[in-house]
Structure 1
């Protein structure tokens, strides 16, 4: 295997731990994963005082993930392994969220969303308008973006914020929340069909998983600290519950992939190999 596909050799103790985990029953693996998540949450709880920082870190992780894709495009001149459908969904929810940010609020999140949108559009243009489009594996990218868009649009009409903003803005905001939660599904389905994921694509999807975990951690830590406004909001209607549910769904969708990513990294493999049932 070439050096370009080598993630780096892990230390022996880490490999030993991974090998031990691999031999455990499925229930034990699930318990260890849950325990690891709880420990990480506790670490974040004790080290990060302003939990809004987690949102900023989540958006930075997403932007860095897109940066890894940009590096891949420049280095390999190939978009093999990337889902155009997921990139279109990502660009859509970022564009809608950016519009809502300008209309409803403006802060550091708006800037980060703008940068991430520009980077995502760059990936889309490379996949559709440059010579790299010849390397796009269209036959494996089978989950069309409109199959994901439509349910999110319907759900946005049902559960949306009850703020004083215009009705359309509130629907758009709900739409981008739901769409973000499932935008990675075409990419995961494509990787499942391929069963082997090269390292740059793997880094990108892992960055998405890290981003979603940090965002979900923000809400969970707020609840653990007894944030009275958040607790009141969760009991006041469907929208706050759906926001929290969307964060949890995003994290769970990517959790399996992140496990196999860490496992492959620890084993010194240059690719991530996925079992058939990951999505």
Structure 2
């Protein structure tokens, strides 16, 4: 006798059978519904951005727990951590010279823990690092982001170098998770702690994107004008949306795996 199918299994099966356009439409609908919910329950939308950085810190803490408990860094991308450290360091510098606030403190804590993860992978657990799977060339991301930052950056009164660095941190953050997704694409099997970490990144990216979208809606578009002229305001929003959708597929399979009671996440081809 076949066991009864759960609601999550029925829904996931139906979604999987839909054409790509329908899946994209459903993703947009779910995203809009989540935005409406956040707008209704969170009165100060700056708290959403703080929550995004806090969730990112939680994800890093999960990595630290994995490294300390299992004594292995298999399945982790060193290049992803290095890109994360780069954009955090640049953003932290910009925060110190342009606007010191609570985000500066959160970024400092996240950068410190990210550097610890990099040190542990590179030196303490080097023997378990699968370098051939972590084969995404960083310059494929860093060079285009650098060129884009030179061309499109804030038009504020700050020094031109600081404005370019600010833009660079935004663009690098949008694509920094790609090396980790490449590692998971190469292995197809994601162990629990790595899956928790990447899901935390997905949640953090969505909250950050929601913060910007809600701020623009609440200000009736005046926020974009306050950020300067030209393409920069639009590029900030596009970067937030891009980094959210990069992780959308993985987050779907993560939630499906959790509800299905699976400890190890197995990704089908073409997911990431």
Alpha carbons of structure 1 residues 260 and 183: separation in structure 2 relative to 1, 3 Å: same
Q: State the secondary structure of the residue aligned to 1:138.
A: coil
Q: Which runs of 5+ in 1 are unaligned?
A: 1-10
Aligned counterpart, 1:6: none
1:13: how far off?
Answer: 3.9
Q: In 2, Cα distance between the equivalents of 1:231 and 1:64?
A: 30
Alignment partner of 1:168 is 2:161: yes
- Equivalents in 1 of 2:161, 2:43: separation in Å? 35
| Structure 2 equivalent of residue 84 of structure 1 | 78
- 3-state DSSP of counterpart to 2:155: coil
How much has 1:17 moved relative to structure 2?
Answer: 3.5
Name the SS for the 1:65 alignment partner. Answer: helix
So what's the TM-score if we normalise by structure 1? 0.91
Using structure 2 for the length normalisation, give the TM-score.
0.93
Structure 2 CA distance, aligned partners of 1:118 and 1:103? 19
Single out whichever of 15-24 and 161-170 deviates more from structure 2. Answer: 15-24
| One of 50, 58, 68 as aligned partner of 1:64 | 58
Change in Cα spacing, 1:236 to 1:167, as seen in structure 2 (3 Å) is: closer
**Mean Cα displacement is larger for which, 235-244 or 218-227?**
218-227
Which residue is 1:105 aligned to?
99
Higher relative contact order by CA 8 Å / sep ≥ 6: 1 or 2?
Answer: 1
Distance 2:210 2:8 in 1: 25
Indicate if the aligned counterparts of 1:58 and 1:214 stay in contact, CA closer than 8 A. yes
Q: Find 1:139's aligned residue among 122, 132, 135.
A: 132
- For 2:146 and 2:88, locate their aligned partners in 1 and report how far apart those are by CA, in whole Å: 15
Segments of structure 2 that go 5 or more residues without pairing to the other structure are none
Query: How far apart are 1:33 and its partner, in Å?
Result: 2.5
Aligned length: 268
1:110-142 per-residue CA deviation (whole Å, 9 max, x = no partner) reads: 000000001100110011111x11111100001
Write the distance in 2 (CA, Å) between the matches of 1:227 and 1:235. 15
Report deviation, 1:233. 4.9
2: CA distance between counterparts of 1:236 and 1:154?
19
